[in-house]
A and B are shown apart, each in its own frame.
Chain A
Amino acid sequence: MTQLDPAAKRDTDVPEAPAPRANRGFSVDMRLASLFGVLVLLILIGWITSPDNFLTGSNLDTILRLAAPSGVVAVGMTFVIISGGIDLSVGSVVGLASVWMTTLATQAYGPFVMVVCGLAVGLGAGLVNGVLIAYGRMVAFIATLAMYISARGLAEYLSNKQTQVVRDQDFLTFFRGEFLGVPTLVWILAIVVVAGWILLNRTTFGRRTFAVGGNPEATRLAGINVKRHIAMVYGLAGLLAGVTAVMLAARTTAGSSTNGMFYELDAIAAVVIGGTALTGGRGTMVGTLIGVLIFTLITNIFVQNNLPTEVQNIAKGAIIVIAVLLQFRTNRARSTT
């Protein structure tokens, strides 16, 4: 339209939005830093309230063993929530998988089959969720609510509501044992978190998970099979629920339909505290890990000081509210328009 001297248009008209939004990368780090601060604060509180027991090796062991199974569930939940979904069923799937892998029939095949069975049940349940949501166009909340109810029901049916004791000594020695002085369960958590971090931040799978949660239609138009991706994300969450079932069966030396009760709520809470947006498209794995540790520490501090669980739950609820309010404050700079 207008003839411009090409040299005249050295772009000072940087097509960027104003600065207040620009430093959000910084505020994400700030958020992680403040979460870390909360963690340190809790450790201090624990140390002050029970100076003799809290910082001992055995208590640290207890804390990490406690954190391990719920941490693994939370890693799966991080993927689901970043993809814009929610999975209410993971706790029940943990119960179902732990029952299935410890039935007398399964135990007869030995430890390896037990583990594979636990993982397969978890993966299967997750894929059912994913297919219902992605291809059946069901709302994630409803589809996984249905799974939440029926997986627990199936677990009760299979186990006759009885606790099934794990008899296999090899299984127990391996999963209850230690390696390099660190409990196997903690190793599993560490591996899952690191692998989860890599998967989320360094692979096309992770990149696409963010994309699907950020804008599914645009992702579809970019040539990505959004449905298959969503199904895989729920499959991953289910698989990690299976891993958790194995860990719980080892820690409690039993499979029970009550295993994993309320894990979904703890996981969602940990993920949200960790700064992952429930609206999808944003989130971090490190935040989730800190969220899990915060939750476990609170429990531990209350147990150490012989305080009733009611008070503990009140404190947990308060932490969730505070975390979300903090997120709201850091996000506000963004929604200026």
Chain B
Amino acid sequence: MTAEASTALLQMTGIVKTFPGVRALDGVDLTVRAGEVHCLLGQNGAGKSTLIKVLAGAHQPDEGEIRWQGEKTALSTPVAALRMGVATMYQELDLIPGLSVADNIFLGHERARWGFTKDRQARRQATALLKRLGHPEIPPDREVGDLSAAGQQLVSMARALAHDAKLIVMDEPTAALAADEVTNLFRVVADLTAEGVAVVYISHRLEEIREIGHRVTVLKDGRTVARDLGADTPTSELVALMSGKRVETVYPNREESTVDSSREILKVEKLGRDDEFADVNFTVHAGEILGIAGLVGAGRSEILETIFGARKADEGTVYVNGKKLKNGDVRSAVDAGVGLAPEERKSQALLMDMSVAQNVTLASMRSYSSFGFTDRAKELRDSRAKLEDLDLRPADPRRNVSTLSGGNQQKAVVARWLVHGCRVLLLDEPTRGVDVGARAELYRLIRELAADGVALVLVSSEMPEVLGLADRVLVLRDGRVIHEAPADELTEADVLDMVMEGSAA
């Protein structure tokens, strides 16, 4: 124990943090050594993000002790943590959309003399950092708001690297990344640890932990339930520790359904948007799940948003039940029974300052109001039922959405369309940041919807998810459909080859 204390870079003991009505951390211990990748596991709402915010100086703990290289420290502000050598990539992207890539990377420690910024130097160093991350093509003077989620994640990563920290905390860095980006990230993490930098790594993708993790600490309900396990601990054991029960993450079998599967529900004809995607054709039948595979940036989200009317198509038409949708008009899509659970929960889906119930019933206001007055009791009842289905914790529909953990916010987005009851449901990364147990539940619900005759379109960066859940798969590359096949005729390797092909040139 004493030996460990002397070699430990960071030691947090008995950390307690309460928010009004919640004890988010209830005595957490975490020990991190220099040069290791320390994985932090736990279900949605277990307290992982809260813990790392304490470590980053963004939250003040109510109790507990933090030791850095053996010495007791207090982290009263984010500056104190940065000075000490802790850089953090937060779960919710923490960038300034209106500033350039370089400005974001060096925000707070600008390259400057006498207060005058040295922009050329900043741009050069930003490019060097992005190159290290495998993306020299991102222009450093591009506004961050113009980058995709994955691009922003890279900027956030570059920023953490720019600090020359001794400990880098990554809160679900891969949630917005596709397979190839993940490989890149892992290479960088390996480089860092070889230089003696420690990494605290949070992810719900357990296979990642086996790949890069050295040791694992598991949180449950704000307590450390297991510390310093080896990365080779069997998945089933980790899951059991996290959830207190056994969870099987197999994709549920297709149920025998009575749906007339010959009925075309959604039909997309020659859909295209300049510079995004072109000539996209497909149909989805009642009870069918269509998966769309492709790299981030291939135009997957753009297609869904265009079908939904959030973007205006430059060419082509969308039909629902044989009826043409008005181009670029969300209202007409929603009236026809189309729902979209978008990729960016915070900016595209949630009203952060409203209650969970209000968020869940937002799309179905009509069925919750009469003469313009909302039926609050019904609203609470129905949303509570869905929250319990999705295992959203705390299952209190009156809470503010902003106080939920990331994964639980994601569940609220999905719950909105489950309550709404749509004929066509477009799901864009529905499991981003959702823990293993809740994921299984979500898969089951998606299958149930299909069995009820809903036509579903699923976009996911996780290939097994697309292949395991969908009936048919479209493979997308650079905005074009390059392959279409039943899911059971495809393997993960096939699809990866297809989406990568040509990009090697």
Contacts and interface: CB of A to CB of B under 8 A. Distances in A.
A18 B147 contact: no
Contacts of A2: 179, 183, 492-493, 496
Contacts of A6: 183
Contact of B297 (A10, A16, A208, A210): A16
Given A1-B211, A16-B297, A223 B96 contact: no
A16 B182 CA distance: 17
B103 interface: yes
Contact of B138 (A1, A16, A281): A16
A207 B103 contact: yes
Query: Which of A4, A203, A223 has the most chain B CB within a 10 Å cutoff?
Result: A223
Given A203-B116, A282-B98, A18 B88 contact: no
A75 B135 CA distance: 39
A257 B274 CA distance: 59
A196 B47 CA distance: 45
A22 interface: yes
Contacts of A58: none
A283 to B, nearest CB: 9
B363 interface: no
For chain A, the bracket of interface size reads: 35 or more
A126 to B, nearest CB: 20
Contacts of B335: none
For chain B, the bracket of interface size reads: 35 or more
Given A16-B146, A20-B275, A11 B110 contact: no
Contacts of A8: 500, 503-504
Contact of B500 (A4, A14, A210, A217): A4
Interface string A1-30: 110101111111111111111101100000
Interface stretch (B65-73, B148-156, B379-387, B413-421): B148-156
B78 A11 contact: no
B115 A205 contact: yes
A148 to B, nearest CB: 28
Given A1-B207, A24-B143, A223-B82, A207 B135 contact: no
A19 to B, nearest CB: 4
B275 A18 contact: yes
Contacts of B56: 221
Contacts of A203: 112, 115-117
B183 A4 contact: yes
B380 to A, nearest CB: 30
A15 B112 contact: no
Given A1-B208, A16-B297, A222 B97 contact: no
Given A15-B296, A203-B115, A204-B117, A21 B98 contact: no
B259 interface: no
Nearest to A206: B117
B295 interface: yes
Contacts of A11: 134-135, 137, 180, 503
B182 A207 contact: no
B148 A221 contact: no
Interface of A: 1-2, 4, 6-22, 24-25, 202-205, 207-208, 210-211, 213-215, 217-225, 281-282, 334, 336-337
24 contacts: A1-B183, A1-B205, A11-B503, A16-B138, A16-B148, A17-B151, A18-B275, A20-B274, A24-B146, A204-B115, A205-B115, A210-B99, A211-B107, A214-B96, A215-B97, A217-B94, A218-B96, A220-B58, A222-B78, A222-B107, A222-B159, A282-B98, A336-B311, A337-B342
Interface of B: 56, 58, 77-79, 82, 88, 90, 94-99, 103, 107-110, 112, 115-117, 119, 134-135, 137-138, 142-143, 145-151, 154, 159, 178-184, 205, 207-208, 211, 273-276, 295-298, 302, 305, 310-312, 342, 344, 347-348, 478, 492-493, 496, 500, 502-505
